[in-house]
Amino acid sequence: MYRYIFFDLDGTLTDSKEGILNSLCYAFEKLGKSAPGEDTLIKFIGPPLQETFMELCGFTKEQAFAAVEAFRERYEPIGKFENAAAPGMPELCGRLKEAGYVLALSSSKPEKLCVDICRRFGYTPSLSVIAGSPLHGDHTKADVIRDTFGRLKLSEADRPDILMVGDRKYDVLGAKECGVDCVGVEFFGYAAPGELEEAGAVAVVRSAAELERFILAH
């Protein structure tokens, strides 16, 4: 049975759409570029920002770095709180901790922001570790998951007991690279249809109640 549950943040524990999209529009305007439509902007929710600016907008590495810096100018003081807890998730995390599960955050978002957001939306008491990316760096999802392993002092023998929970293929693929299962969540529709299944999620759930039933049954 799973004992350690690692959660993604954006799109999993919180609905961060408003703050991210507002801050992306700010960044494009600051760089003198037209922002793409919402269908494209939504794809920024989840994966590392610098990589997404390059993949979706054709930015060079230097342009993408400048775009991330501009994004953070607005997101860090304002956008991070234009956010809301995913329905039922703070309560679910509380029940899982009480039942003896060890919960952790494994997010590509800069760790300082993760700490602030988890505190604001009621997750901090349930989490043994809050692991994010360094402010400047190119951490992959797998890097963050491995960092979470280390902070919890887990070993190879613990891998079958770990479950990653996330809403994008990056969560599934990062978990797979680290040798752990991942259940996909479709709370807000940020992943493309079939994305999580194609990446290899062991299950896909659409509510906190469905997620709870899956964890307790496995």
Specify the length of the chain in residues. Answer: 218
| Angstrom distance (rounded) from CA 125 to CA 135 | 24
**Long-range pairs, 191-196, Cβ under 8 A, ≥24:** 191/46, 191/167, 195/168, 195/169, 196/167, 196/168, 196/169, 196/172
Beta-bridge partners for 185: 205
Q: How far apart are CA 17 and CA 69, in angstroms?
A: 19
Unique residue bearing structure tokens 């234009």: 82
29 Cβ contact list (under 8 Å, min separation 6): 35
Task: Let me know if 8 is a catalytic residue.
Answer: yes
Long-range contacts of 39-42 (CB under 8 A, 24+ apart): 42/17, 42/190
Neighbours of 61 (CB within 10 A): 12
Token pair for 140: 């992959």
Amino acid at 20: I
Of 122, 118, 21, 11, whose CA–CA distance to 132 is shortest? 118
Active site residues: 8
